[in-house]
Amino acid sequence: MKRIIVLLCLGLCNCLMFAQEGEAYRGLTKAIEKIYTVTQKHGKNILLLDTQSTLFYDENGSIIEKYMMKGNLSYLGKEIRFNRNNPHFKEILVYNHMNGLVSRSVEYGDLQTGNHSSIMYDSKGKVLNKVQCKSTGADSLIWEMHYNQVGYLSEYFKIQHNKDGTIDEKTLFDYKDDVMELHKYIYDPSGLLSSIVVTSPGDSLLYKMRYRYDESANLLEQSKTDSGNLPMESTIYSYDDRDRLIMRLDYSFNPRYGGTPNLRTQYEYSYE
C-alpha cells in the first residue's frame, strides 16, 4: 500500500510526505522531476517544460534536497528537508534563486495516537497556516483544527475512525460550529480506500472522489465527479517495475465539450 499511505495521511492532516518517498525509493541517490504545462491546439496536446528539478535521497528513501530549474534552465531555488522518526518530525526550508528563505514548513507528532501538527511560516517566521490533529482516545475521535494567519480557528473536522485505524467519516464545521460537509470513506474488500462521498448537511451529494489501484496497491487513478456524476477532474499515475512513480497526468473536464478530458499538467520522473 505504497501510494495510499500518502493519501490517507493527507486526509488526516497536512502531511509533508511526498509520493516519491518511502520503501520503494530506498537505495536511490537521485531523481529527476520534469513538470510540463499543457495546452490544446487543433485537438493535440502541446507540452511546454515548466520546471525541472533534481531530488536527492537519504538511505530511508526520503527526499532531503530538491533543486529547481525553470524550463530554460535558469535557477529557481531549492528545498532542504529534514526527516526524523521516534518522534515523527519533518521540516522543509524553501529558498529562492538568491538563496533567501521563502518559507518553512514543519510537521511533528505521534502517528499512532493521531496527535499531529503541521505549521507553515513565511520568511520572517510569521505563521501562514496551522493544522492540529488531536485524539480523544477511547471514542476513536480525532479533531483536525485549521487556523488562519492571525491564529483564529477557520474550520475544523471531526474524524471518526474504524477499529483498524482507517477513517470512517469526517465532518467539516466552520468557525461558528455549523456543519458544512460530511465526508464518508468507503473501502474495497482488501482494505484500500475506494471512494469518498461528500454530502451537505441536508444529505445532498456535493461531489465524489474515486480511487483505483494496481495489483501492488499502487494508486493508478483518482477522480472527482460532481453532484450529477459528471467528471470534474482526474489524475492518472504510472509506475516502473519497482513500484516507483514515473508519470502523473492531471486532467480537467469541460462540460461544454461532452466531458472530454483535457490534459493540464504532466509530471515525469527518472531515477538513479
Compute how many other C-beta atoms are within 10 angstroms of the C-beta atom of residue 209: 21
**pLDDT at residue 19 in the model:** 72
Distance CA 118, CA 111 (A): 13
Closest CA to 235 of 257, 260, 259, 265: 265
Strands (E), 110-227: 116-122, 127-135, 141-147, 153-161, 167-174, 179-187, 193-199, 205-213, 219-226
**pLDDT at residue 114 in the model:** 63
**pLDDT at residue 162 in the model:** 87
**pLDDT at residue 52 in the model:** 96
Compute how many other C-beta atoms are within 10 angstroms of the C-beta atom of residue 266: 19
Distance CA 38, CA 18 (A): 23
**pLDDT at residue 47 in the model:** 96
Closest CA to 130 of 121, 143, 141: 121
How is residue 253 written as a grid cell? 473536464
Kindly give the confidence (pLDDT) of every residue in the chain, 272 residues in length, as a single tens digit, with 9 standing for 90 and above.
344 333 334 344 444 445 788 899 999 999 999 999 999 888 899 999 999 999 999 999 999 999 999 987 899 999 999 988 878 899 999 999 999 999 999 999 876 666 889 999 999 999 999 999 888 765 678 899 999 988 899 999 999 988 888 899 999 999 999 999 999 999 999 999 999 999 999 999 999 999 999 999 999 999 999 999 999 999 999 999 999 999 999 999 987 766 789 999 999 999 99
The pLDDT tens digits for 196-253 are 999 999 999 999 999 999 999 999 999 999 999 999 999 999 999 999 999 999 999 9
| One-character DSSP codes across 214-242 | -TT--EEEEEEEETTS-EEEEEEEEE-TT
**pLDDT at residue 257 in the model:** 66
How is residue 60 written as a grid cell? 530511508
CA atoms within 13 Å, Cβ hemisphere of 220:
7
